[in-house]
A and B are shown apart, each in its own frame.
Chain A
Amino acid sequence: MSAPYEPVIVGFLCNWCSYRAADLAGTARLHYAPNMRPIRVMCSGRVEPDLVLKAFREGADGVLIAGCHPGECHYIEGNLKALRRYVLLRRMLRQWGIEPERLQLVWASASEGTVLAEAVNRMTEQLRALGPLRWKQTVLGGNGHPSIATSVAAAVEEATAMTEEA
């Protein structure tokens, strides 16, 4: 018997708002789902699609990107760049058979520990309902249109492998 399914979320938190929101949630002893594993980036605008794909490939069931509210970005508008990439990437994921809910974007200012904690709780529940991602089967193994999925996935693998070397 394997252990019951617990979703794993990789959270990319921007240094100025969302990471501090997470710090604040902790300082205020707000309890929330321990399923999110945080990675600090200077700005949500630093989160390139490759990082998200990498997380899925390595076994994450979901990826959360958290940044400052629009208009409050420490770097003026990096969060808006993150938003643009997020919208496109979600659309791409859907074409590969990955539910868009597996990638989420949330704005949490440094004073909004509760917002971040609630986002993690909400996402954990949604992923619990969706079940594990199974990247290999979904994207590489190809349910639906195997040939297209496989070729797209191979290209993705190649591209991520290439940029990793950089």
Chain B
Amino acid sequence: MAERVGVYICHCGTNIAGVVDVPEVTRWAGELPEVMIARDYKFMCSSLGQDLIEKDIKELGLTRIVVAACSPHMHEKTFRGAAQRAGLNPFLMEMANIRELDSWTTDDKEAATQKAKAMISGAIQRVLFHQPLELITVSINPNTLIVGGGIAGITAALELANAGYHVYMVEREPSIGGHMAQLDKTFPTLDCAACILTPRMVDVGQHPNITLLAYSEVESVEGYVGNFTVTVRKKASYVNEELCTGCGICEEKCPKKVVDQVFEAGIGTRKAVYRPFPQAVPKYPVIDRENCIYFQKGKCKACQIFCPTNAIDFEQQDRFIQFEVGNIIVATGYDPFDATRIPHYGFGRLPNVITSVQFERMVNASGPTGGRILLKDGTPPKSVGIIHCVGSRDENYNEYCSRVCCMYSLKFAHLVRERLPDAEVYNFYIDIRASGKRYEEFYHRVMMEGANMVRGRVAEVTDVARTADEEGKLIIQVYDTLLGEQRRIPVDMVILSVGVQPRKDARQVAQLFGLGCDFAGFFTERHPKLDPLLTMVEGIYIAGACQGPMAIPETVAQGAGAAARVAGMIGQGTVVMEPIKAHIDEERCSGCRICNNLCPYKAIVYHEDRQVSEAISALCQGCGTCVAACPSAAITGAHFTRRQLMAQVEGILLDVRQSMEASST
């Protein structure tokens, strides 16, 4: 073969050269029959290092480049760029990752050097069979889908809509607002959540650039960056939005009361026709079919009888809406930890043990108690215990820290002291994590206000009294790690500060969009530090607590950040995609159709007339599953061809084969 190969080996300071014998590898590579020139350099990725490669391509007429350095995920683009600037097709460059996959994984210099040689040898044999490829340019649809109408989605939607781009917002519940709409005050500033949130909700509802699809769910997503086709199911609400004025008479007249497990967290009621809360956006109520007397028993229709605009439509069906978008932001939020999973804390069994979400509703002026902190018997508590880390930092439940509970628990302590100045408050904590802006100051303020802080994980909450003063109380059993002794603290009310966990259906949602989930079930970002908003799927971004526990300011920052990323993409107008696509050679295709069902993107069509299959490159994502399966070897996966991979296997094992042959002769 007449290819002229140049091999470039990076020291990466001492990152590679400290373990791999770079001069020896360079000497060895220079003597290989395929190699025209081998050079090493301190930092190949520096402009001087790249110049070295460019100069050799121009002066020596190199036709293939191997760069042995770091991960291709780090610098493949860099070295492709160098090749391209020198007039060489960028796909004629191959990297050998001798840093992340070699020098950083061992202290054994000899073994690392041998492995580096093997990897470079594999890359050389592979690159000989590379073919020049052109990046594919596709245009970007300027519309965006935002999934989830919490504060992350709301922020992202307004940023994009204000920039002049159209947004489809899909929200599962009858109203946008998310968890933030349930909260009373927000830490550490103590500004009222509704006061800062509802104006933004109204903006979303009224914005000409936002199509709000509430009480709806995404059914399917097809396509790729710039060109997604989305199908949304708009669930039947039995209220005609064209006619409804949102007057609320139906809610008033509905005779059926239902315990509201979602918005009121089980401590308040709503009607069978309802809006989750008065400031709901959109303003239209929905009929909850499961609880509606008409749907269950066949008569009632009170709402229909009293509706002044005749907007109630019991015949309504789910509707499917399809539209095209270029980018998607997934902002589906979190679920609070289910406190019944920890039976020894008594939630669901002991009446005055409540969760933090319930307390938020209780202390909220628009909540079921009108903002009064009350025991089940209607009297105010004289003492309140707040248990931190419920379900968090516990290997039996969630190992991670939920990050918001310390601060909202301190906020609760403040609110209890504010509303009930005579009540004692105890916070039971493992560590206080107050690392945000003005958080530590808030912690000090709450302590100065007289909250009792007890350091230790609570063992049990019980109503079994041992002494007279425990009679009729909830007793919190805890090992106080500062005092070094067991304590029993009787209180009237216990608040369980439940943690943040992925949505119950997070994994299904991940599958719908092709996202990855971490061990807990939070969606994974492309890079934990440098690319926290993009997912592994080009064109799909994540924002807010669907990615991991985070407080409102970070969530808002992520929503705005995701919007900025999308706006950047729209501004570019086009996006280049790797030309890693499957191609079916009609001459070789036997028409067996094995590949047809293997393709997860339905990118392979079968032509009955010619009895051959064809891969549609616009739909192909380049996984290569069909390539591997074709019994006729008729399918080629560009840049990962059979010939290239076979050659790489040969190259990577060259030394083994040579020593085998030497020993057998």
Contacts and interface: CB of A to CB of B under 8 A. Distances in A.
Contacts of A17: 516
Nearest to A32: B105
A68 interface: yes
A50 B519 CA distance: 33
Given A23-B100, A78-B600, A30 B517 contact: no
A38 interface: yes
Given A58-B650, A166-B642, A26 B104 contact: yes
B58 to A, nearest CB: 29
B653 A42 contact: no
Given A2-B663, A16-B536, A50 B100 contact: no
A108 to B, nearest CB: 12
A86 to B, nearest CB: 12
Contact of B633 (A20, A51, A55, A166): A166
B107 interface: yes
A39 B384 CA distance: 60
Contact of B100 (A10, A16, A27, A76): A27
Nearest to A85: B628
B232 interface: no
Query: Most A CB atoms within 10 A — which of B73, B511, B649?
Result: B649
Contacts of A164: 642-643, 646
A13 to B, nearest CB: 9
Given A39-B649, A164-B642, A22 B536 contact: no
Contacts of B352: none
B653 A34 contact: no
A22 B72 CA distance: 12
A5 to B, nearest CB: 12
Interface in B580-595: 580, 588
B518 A37 contact: no
A60 interface: yes
Given A34-B111, A58-B657, A164-B642, A111 B649 contact: no
Query: Most A CB atoms within 10 A — which of B72, B100, B118, B623?
Result: B623
Contact of B642 (A25, A43, A50, A77): A50
Contact of B623 (A60, A75, A111, A117): A75
A39 to B, nearest CB: 6
Nearest to A22: B101
B510 A58 contact: no
Contact of A110 (B105, B524, B633): B524
Given A16-B536, A29-B104, A51-B646, A10 B653 contact: yes
A35 B114 CA distance: 10
Interface string B115-146: 10011001000000000000000000000000
Given A26-B101, A111-B524, A55 B649 contact: yes
Contact of A34 (B72, B112, B528): B112
A87 to B, nearest CB: 15
B261 interface: no
A37 B118 contact: yes
A54 B537 CA distance: 32
A166 B642 CA distance: 7
B643 A31 contact: no
B625 A45 contact: yes
A74 interface: yes
B268 interface: no
A166 B640 contact: no
B648 interface: yes
A54 B649 contact: yes
Contacts of B317: none
B462 to A, nearest CB: 39
B656 interface: yes
Contacts of B652: 10, 37, 39
A144 to B, nearest CB: 21
A30 B537 CA distance: 28
A81 B599 CA distance: 10
B392 interface: no
Contact of A163 (B99, B622, B642): B642
A47 interface: yes
A42 B51 CA distance: 30
Interface string B621-632: 111110111000
A55 B653 contact: yes
A58 B628 contact: no
Query: Most A CB atoms within 10 A — which of B510, B519, B621, B642?
Result: B642
A51 B649 contact: yes
Contact of A111 (B97, B518, B601, B625): B518
B108 interface: yes
Contacts of A128: none
Contacts of A25: 100, 105
A31 B536 contact: no
B637 interface: yes
Nearest to A28: B104
A116 to B, nearest CB: 10
Contacts of B348: none
B101 A110 contact: no
Given A51-B646, A166-B643, A81 B101 contact: no
Given A23-B71, A42-B623, A164-B646, 8 more contacts: A34-B105, A37-B118, A43-B623, A74-B516, A76-B511, A136-B664, A163-B633, A166-B642
25 contacts: A6-B111, A17-B516, A20-B73, A23-B100, A25-B105, A31-B105, A31-B107, A34-B105, A34-B114, A38-B97, A39-B122, A39-B645, A42-B580, A42-B623, A42-B640, A48-B627, A54-B646, A59-B653, A71-B517, A74-B536, A78-B600, A111-B524, A163-B642, A166-B636, A166-B643
Interface of B: 71-73, 97, 99-102, 104-108, 111-112, 114-115, 118-119, 122, 507, 510-511, 514, 516-519, 524, 528, 536-537, 580, 588, 598, 600-601, 621-625, 627-629, 633, 636-637, 640, 642-643, 645-646, 648-650, 652-653, 656-657, 660, 663-664
Interface of A: 2, 6, 8, 10, 16-17, 19-20, 22-23, 25-27, 29-35, 37-43, 45-48, 50-51, 54-55, 58-60, 68, 71-72, 74-78, 81, 85, 109-111, 117, 136, 162-164, 166
Rank and list the top 9 A-B pairs by shortest CB-CB distance, nearest first: A26-B100, A46-B624, A59-B656, A45-B625, A75-B623, A48-B628, A166-B633, A26-B104, A76-B600
